[in-house]
Amino acid sequence: MILLERRSLLDGFRRGDKAALLEVYRHYAPIVSRFLTRGFTFDSQGQLCSFRGFRGGYEIEAALQEVFRRAFEEKARLAYNGLDPYQPYLLRIARNLVINDLKSKQPILFRFRQGGPVVLEPAHEEVEELPPVPPDAADRLEAEEVARLVANFRATLDPREAGVFRARFEEGLASEKAAEALSLTRSQVRTTEARLKERFLRHMQAAGYLDHYRPGKATSAALSGVLLLLLGGPS
Amino acid sequence: MTTTTCVGGSAARLIELRFLRPLNEAERHRLEGHLTTCGACQERYRRLQRAERIAAHGVDGAQELPSPFELERIAADLGLYQPEPPRRRAWAWPLAWVGALAVAAVLLVFLPPPREFLQDRGAEVAPANFAVFTADRAGGVVALETQATLQPGSPLKLRVAAPTPVALPGMAAVFVGEGPPVVITLPGLDHVDAPTTVGGVVVVPELPNGAVWLYLVAASAPLDPALLSRGLADRPEVLVAKERLSALVVERRLLQVERTP
């Protein structure tokens, strides 16, 4: 609704002002991301199908980028009437983009699947957005493992680092806002953030999540055993 | 759960960089080209993204909601947002604070991570990573992370992983803290293409209590301890420029030496 409520933002959006586009993007990107992840139903040659959405990873980032690239083209910006809510208009762009890509011999959105199939299932009723798919047991286990690693990392932070982590990693405040909230300079926030990102990465690697991740205690116990032997003396 | 075993080491590094700083257009193009053909790197990317999402939204929200940094990356790709780089140089720290560390160590704090530093200067840097393990008091094995506490005399074991086969005949651990650097050379490895344990054990030297940088070095030629000591106390790129070492890997971790009675 932000474009309907603020005339100046709508004007800036139509002109293509970067600040206005960025504000619109920040407002709608989570909504579009959810839409692209959940999927939707559509009519294909007289049959109702459901597209079960994008998986995570680079695929979803590339899809989000492509939706906003199209939506922010001058033609698309000027075609928005400014009277109706922008969200359905934007999701229509996303939906058409996916459907056209499904038909395309050289897909843009689905090129990260290495030729893997995009599964379309028959649908019984037309819905704008499918309900979320509950994660399976393995997925849930992985998520909980990552949450534990994140909590361990958080526990190692000093007060300034914890503040920057909360403001930037969790709440997504802009650097200036984070600096204001934490009584730091922007430079301090940026430097602390850069260090935290590097440490976060190394933490997840050292814990084994990012490379050679295998859930289950048996594997880590076996690894510990091998290392204990190695630590026993010079090899 | 699949494991990530990619042979495209530079792409794996690009994935890490994308999460650390904005990629330029050429880097992004290379990364996208690789991701269209490499399932292992797609998985690597997904895990990093998931870790960021869970940090931001917890387990339940992470499935659908992008993380703040994910949104910033896409905004940067769209040309809507230009994140300011972190300051790299030293600024006026209070003298009392500076006094806690040796001059060499203080200079090193403000250098960018050595690997990036070397790459920025065109050095050939092997796509390899170190892991360091030590024994905890209960007799278990723990990975040694940044800010970990070290006891002089405790043993460390190194493991190096390289996604593309590489020979690393020069291998060393260097402790840079107060006083002269302590160099411990280790047996080199003729062939690394999977996580490989480095021969020998690094015994933490008798260092004074306080902060110490542990540099992990692997190179395409045997390493001279005196050269390493000078090179790391000055700047790592000196090793590349003067000694023409290629396939150099330098990683460092800031640790705390603390004796317990």
Instruction: Check whether B244 has a pLDDT greater than 70.
Output: no
Alpha-carbon B28 to chain mean position: 22
Give the whole-angstrom CA distance, residue A54 versus residue B88.
38
Q: B200: which DSSP letter?
A: S
Q: How confident is the model at residue A216 (pLDDT cuts 50, 70, 90)?
A: very low
Percentage with pLDDT > 90 across chain B: 12
Contacts of A211 in chain B (CB under 8 A): 3-4, 44, 129, 161
Q: How far apart are CA A132 and CA A218, in angstroms?
A: 33
Q: Convert the pLDDT of each residue in B147-192 to its tens digit.
A: 778 888 888 888 887 767 778 888 888 887 777 778 888 888 888 7
Q: Does B77 touch chain A (CB under 8 A)?
A: yes
H-only helix segments in B36-150: 39-61, 68-77, 95-98, 103-109, 114-120
Contact B74 A60 (CB under 8 A): no
Tell me the C-alpha distance between B38 and A189, whole Å: 35
* Burial status of residue B178 (CB atoms within 10 A of its CB: 0-12, 13-18, 19 or more): middle
Closest Cα partner for B146 from B98, B211, B197?
B211
Greater model confidence, A211 or A20:
A20
The answer to whether the beta carbons of residues B105 and B88 sit under 8 Å apart is: no
3-class secondary structure per residue, chain A: CHHHHCHHHHHHHHHCCHHHHHHHHHHHHHHHHHHHHHCEEEEECCEEEEECCCCCCHHHHHHHHHHHHHHCCHHHHHHCCCCCCHHHHHHHHHHHHHHHHHHCCCCCCCHHHCCCCCCEEECCCCCCCCCCCCCCHHHHHHHHHHHHHHHHHHHCCCHHHHHHHHHHHHCCCCHHHHHHHHCCCHHHHHHHHHHHHHHHHHHHHHCCCCCCCCCCHHHHHHHHHHHHHHHCCCC
C-alpha distance from B130 to closest chain A C-alpha (Å) = 9
Tokens of A122: 């028959």
Return the residue of A nearest to B159 by Cα.
A227
CB–CB contacts below 8 A, A to B: 201
* Interchain proximity B47–A198, CB inside 8 Å: no
Contact criterion met (CB < 8 Å) for A38 and B64: yes
Instruction: Nearest chain B residue to A67 by CA: give it.
Output: B78
Rounded distance, CA B28 to CA B77, Å? 9
Task: Say which DSSP state B6 is in.
Answer: -
Q: Which two tokens stand for residue B153?
A: 């005399």
Provide the shortest C-alpha distance from residue B3 to chain A (in Å).
5
Kindly state the greatest CA–CA separation across chain B: 57
State the smallest CA–CA distance between residue B118 and chain A in angstroms: 17
First to last CA, chain B: 45
Nearest to B176 by CA among B208, B141, B222: B208
Check residues B50 and A221 and name the one with the higher pLDDT: B50
Would you call B17 an interface residue with chain A, using a CB distance cutoff of 8 Å? no
- In sequence order, the β-bridge partners of residue B214 are B175, B253
pLDDT at B115: 58
CA distance B49 to chain A (A): 6
Instruction: Tell me how many degrees the CA angle B64-B67-B71 measures, rounded to the nearest 5.
Output: 105
Q: Is B225 exposed, middle or buried (0-12, 13-18, 19+ CB in 10 A)?
A: middle
**Which of A69, A165, A210 lies closest to B48 in CB terms?**
A210
ipTM greater than cut 0.90 = no
Helix (H, G, I), strand (E, B) or coil at B235: coil
Nearest to B74 among A61, A114, A231 (CB): A61
Q: How many residues does chain A have?
A: 235
| Tokens (6 digits) for B121 | 């200067």
**Does residue B48 belong to the interface with chain A, where contact is any CB pair within 8 Å?**
yes
Q: Does B44 touch chain A (CB under 8 A)?
A: yes
Closest CA–CA distance from residue A26 to any residue of chain B (Å): 7
User: Which residue in chain B has the smallest CA separation from A224?
Assistant: B141
Q: Select from B42, B55, B135 the Cβ nearest to the Cβ of A150.
A: B55
pLDDT tens for residues A151-163?
A: 999 999 999 999 9
User: Where is B9: in which H helix or E strand?
Assistant: helix B9-20
Distance CA B126, CA A188 (A): 32
pLDDT tens-digit readout, B189-219: 888 777 778 888 888 888 878 778 788 888 7
Statement: residue A129 has pLDDT above 80? yes
* Amino acid occupying residue B143: A
Window from B106-115, B126-135, B223-232 with minimum mean pLDDT: B106-115
Measured between CA atoms, the residue of chain B closest to residue A169 is B56
CB of B106 within 8 Å of any CB in chain A? no
Are B224 and B172 in contact, with CB atoms under 8 Å apart?
A: no
Say whether A201 and B16 touch across the interface (CB within 8 A).
yes
B63–A112 C-beta distance less than 8 A: no
A230 vs B contacts (CB less than 8 Å):
157, 197
The full DSSP string for B120-140 is HTT----S-EEEEEEE-TTS-
State the pLDDT at residue B61.
Answer: 85
How far, in Å, CA of A159 to CA of A155, rounded? Answer: 10
Beta carbons of B178 and B210 less than 8 angstroms apart: yes
Partner-chain contact B74 A34, CB within 8 Å: no
Which tops the pLDDT comparison, B77 or B141? B77
Q: Which of A169, A201, A213 sits opposite B3 (nearest CB)?
A: A213
